[in-house]
Amino acid sequence: VQVSIGDQPQDVLRGAADEVLALLKDDSTRDPERQVEVEKLLGKIAPERFNKLVNHGKQISDFMTDGDKQDLEKDDEEVLDEEMGVAVVFDDDEDEEEEEEMDEVRDEEDEDDDALNGVEAMASSKLAKGADSDDEGDMYDDDQYTLNVQEIDAHWLQRKLSEYYDDANMSVKLAEDVIEILRLTDERACENKLVVLLDYEKFDLIKILLRNRAKVYYCTRIKQAQDDAEREAIEAEMSSDVVSGGSAILEALKQTATADSWVQDRMQDFRNKTMREAQSLKNLDQDTEAMAAETDKFVRSAGDSVVMEGATERPQDVLDLPGLSFPQGGHLMSNKRCQLPEKSWRAQKKGYEEVHVPAVKHIPAGEKLVAVTSLPTWCQPAFTGIKHLNRIQSKMKTTALETSENLILCAPTGAGKTNVAMMCMLNVLAQHRRSDGSFDLDAFKIVYVAPMKALVQECVLNFGRRLQSFGIVVKELSGDQSLTRQQIAETHIIVTTPEKWDIVTRKAGERTFTQLVRLLIVDEIHLLHDDRGPVLEAIVARTIRQIETTHEMVRIVGLSATLPNYADVAAFLRVDPQKGLFFFDNSFRPVPLQQQYIGITEKKAIRRFTLMNEICYDKVLAQAGKNQVLIFCHSRAECAKTAMALRDMAVDQDTIGNFIVEASATSEILKEEAETASAADLKDILPYGFGIHHAGMTRNDRNMVEDLFTDRHIQVLCSTATLAWGVNLPAHTVIIKGTQMYSPEKGKWVELSPLDVMQMLGRAGRLGFDTEGEGIVITQHSELQFYLSLMNQQLPIESQLIKTLPDMLNAEMVLGSVQNVRDAAEWLSYTYLYVRMLRNGELYGVGPKELEDDEHLLQRRLDLAHSAALTLDKHHLIKYDRKSGSIQVTALGRVASAYYVGHESMATYNEYLKPSMSDIELFRLFSMSGEFQNIHVREEEKLELAKLSVRVPIPVKESIDEPSAKVNVLLQAYMSNLKLEGFALVADLTYVRQSANRLMRCLLELALKRGWAALADKALNLCKMVEPRMW
């Protein structure tokens, strides 16, 4: 099945296998009829292969159809009802079994460690907040299952569910289902439905939900309210709900707004904390008097507690950093509704829904375009071949070229942002232009940060060509291209990726040339929303702090797609909104874009897969003979399979004449070029007017396809995303066929990043040829709102920093800019996270009361820094004095920062690295790195991995079912130049390869730091083997 339909998510493969087996097991049909039906699912099948399928089907004896399964499940349910019953009763007596021993001594360090391990969600100061009972024993019994209304924000339920489910989309869907169940008035019915929905394994979560049924139901709804009217309606409903306690919950939500109740809460917090620490104080005789005095002092000054806390500026809580981060990553959607433009319309069709968004056209009213000849004469060579700046560039010319203001430009893809960057570069040149017209090129450097290596290479060629006459040297600094210190010193414009520039700037020894940077341009700054966003936050924060320390100006320019909260990004970049903030909506797009979003509603995965091809064919046929179509697929094999499927449908339905006219000049050209193609797939489909393009093809084949498409001989081109980022091949219509791609970093199929989607749709519409372009996104129905929000400026950009906060802070500590927890809290004030916490605190776990009492969120930042420091201290990357707040970096922390290694991996290396390790053990330790924690072994890979494990030279001890064994085998397969077949396996190999050299160097550095010569020799040899792929 996998050979026939290619590399697809596991649910598609399983669905296809089930459908094929059901057909083969159907005794009412004959083999010829079965073959026809099977071919509808899998495409054309040779008779020999079909016979093999039939034989395999006969050998499988434990297969059941859906009808059989339903009957069996019904029988099982009846047996369950008769013998066991259904309901699970949560008696208060059960708590006694889990009651904590009151004689147990717990010191402060134990509590911190527990909090880090997820044993306690919050610090001890929040243990009994809001508990009604004054009975001490009951308080400890119920606390872990009793929630305070202030703890439940709009996404509390989703975060809880994400602890059990890896799929963020499933967590969101289940949260909606749970809310629907919690509105039931019958507690027993609610209980049963929760057990059925969440399974018995989620016992603790179900107990929390039942005990706080009304709180979770009402607080989640009221926090998710989109406007005042909706909020007022919910409050009215709560006021009238006396039975479930809705009115009491509403009162509790409002009550904390008064200063008196706030003081009472603080006192209650303190009582709970002191009760919990009472036992440990008995064993600390030398500190008893001091602690008692401090306690007495706090109690006496309870009315003055606000002043006390503001004065001490000490961390109070250990925060659950993983719980506060967003499991959805870049797919986070914090808006709940999407307002479509006027004249948008929907159409419901069999198996899918269509949403059409018309193109936004703008008629300029008296706009004047700036002629290049009006620019200073010395600037004009940079704009060779351009007569006029476009509308956006003309509006920004004065600010970009004639001032040094920080800038943020939000404009649609393809709107000419590169020329704005060029004007900013010329402004730096103007500042270093001598009276004789020459330039002091040694006095400055310009850094251009782009997210993709393909974009970096394109920028190097572009800027290098246009600035050659100025004597400017432009070089690439990325994962593919490293620069020596001397090369960096000789380079004037460095075009780099965020990660590479982060590595350069986090090294104190590189300050000699980083201090020469006068302009930092960050392209695609909406990458802040992505999992890679924290790196951008670190770069910008470091640059701003450098400006404040050295008092040498660095201009920061952000280039972005259109986004709704551009003002927040502007605040982060320290842009003056009156002078440097420029926002242009879709009406400024060079070629207006008509959008179609297709959400497939089919439940069966294989049916969704086949329907996607059918929809794709319908959309392609609508443009056949009139406009060219570019179809983006998400694997190389999928490109060829899609092109062949479309070709076969056109042949079967006798519409192939719409794509290619027989005996025409185009037909003859395609036939001739097909003869020269080296790829068999390309040779097969090219004569029909279809083409494929991906990085796995030879350079000659790719160039040929690009030329044929540019000359309009190829009507339909199926390509991977490389075409969106690399070669600029626009088409009238762009189709994104499916929005799921395999992510080796997460070990599963995930939704496309917003960056990729915008870049792909940016290829729709050819400037100078088309009056408008068309972008079509085919996705699952549940994802419709996300992509509609994304492309219509309604998806707010959020910060992902909390997820990687410990590692980012470790880098600043190694650099020396953060030496204690107070410095760390100050560093946080330079981040985008801080801006978003101030604007949308509830999303980040900051309540309105907390923001009201601490308008700069100093306490929150201290707690975040404290929690990150505890994590690093626990993993031995720093030494953290909790009383004074001082931080001392360890050798382990320095190595982690230098080699960009996460704290989980460093903890693993620290624990298992031994001086007498063999090569077998070194490979095994490498495969246990935290970077590979999401790599899993899929069913369809086991056979291939088993074959590879026999061929690799270093024996693998673990079973092939172990993820670490897979990583080990893949690294050795890469070093041995072995060929792999599965697409997902190749993607995993690429991910392992990208990390291999860095992690091996890290192991070598650790061996050297510890003076283990024999191990260092082994690690050095492995480092020398990995890069050249030679044993």
Spatial distance between the Cα atoms of 904 and 933, rounded to a whole number of angstroms: 10
Q: Facing residues of 716 across strands?
A: 629, 690
Lowest mean pLDDT among 135-139, 399-403, 501-505, 658-662: 135-139
Over residues 987-1029, the pLDDT tens digits come to 888 889 888 989 999 999 999 999 999 999 999 999 999 888 8
CB 9 within 8 A of CB 606: no
Over residues 983-994, the pLDDT tens digits come to 778 888 888 988
Half-sphere exposure of 183 (CA within 13 A, CB side): 11
Residue 365 has what pLDDT? 64
Lowest mean pLDDT among 118-127, 160-169, 696-705, 946-955: 118-127
Residue 767 has what pLDDT? 78
Helix (H) or strand (E) segment spanning residue 618: helix 605-623
* pLDDT greater at residue 340 or residue 70: 340
Over residues 770-789, the pLDDT tens digits come to 888 999 999 998 888 888 88
CB 782 within 8 A of CB 169: yes
CB 426 within 8 A of CB 404: no
Sheet holding 581-583, edge to edge: 474-477, 493-496, 445-449, 517-522, 555-560, 407-410, 581-583
Backbone phi, then psi, for 378, in 5-degree steps?
-70, -20
Average pLDDT, the chain: 81
The reported pTM is 0.73
Q: Facing residues of 748 across strands?
A: 743
- Nearest Cα neighbor of 358 from 596, 627, 694, 598 is 596
* Pairing status of strand 773-780 against strand 887-889: unpaired
Spatial distance between the Cα atoms of 569 and 529, rounded to a whole number of angstroms: 11
Question: What string of DSSP letters covers 7-45?
Answer: S--HHHHHHHHHHHHHHHH-TTS-HHHHHHHHHHHH---
For 1025, residues 6+ apart whose C-beta sits below 8 A from its C-beta are 975, 1031
Q: Between 891-898 and 903-912, two packed helices, what is the crossing angle to 10 degrees?
A: 130
Spatial distance between the Cα atoms of 1019 and 3, rounded to a whole number of angstroms: 39
pLDDT band for 791, please (50, 70, 90 cuts): confident
Average pLDDT of the residues in 449-465 = 89
Residue 891 has what pLDDT? 92
The beta strand positions in 53-120, using DSSP E, are none
Residue 447 CA to its chain's centroid (Å): 25
* Pairing status of strand 445-449 against strand 593-600: unpaired
Task: Give me the torsion for CA of 172, 173, 178, 184, rounded to 10°.
Answer: 130
Average pLDDT of the residues in 971-976 = 92
Spatial distance between the Cα atoms of 693 and 931, rounded to a whole number of angstroms: 31
Over residues 56-82, the pLDDT tens digits come to 777 777 766 555 555 554 554 444 444
Sign of CA dihedral 237, 239, 245, 250: positive
* pLDDT greater at residue 189 or residue 418: 418
Residue 341 is given by DSSP the state: P
Q: Domains of the chain by range and CATH?
A: 1-70 (no CATH), 155-253 (no CATH), 387-585 (3.40.50.300), 593-792 (3.40.50.300), 801-895 (1.10.10.10), 901-1027 (1.10.3380.10)
The length of the chain, given as a count of residues: 1031
Over residues 190-222, the pLDDT tens digits come to 888 888 888 767 777 888 888 888 888 888 888
Residue 412 has what pLDDT? 87
Residue 307 has what pLDDT? 30
pLDDT over 70 at 265, yes or no: no
Report the range out of 163-167, 171-175, 477-481, 689-693 with the highest average pLDDT: 689-693
Return the structure tokens found at 51: 């016979």
Over residues 320-337, the pLDDT tens digits come to 888 888 887 777 877 777
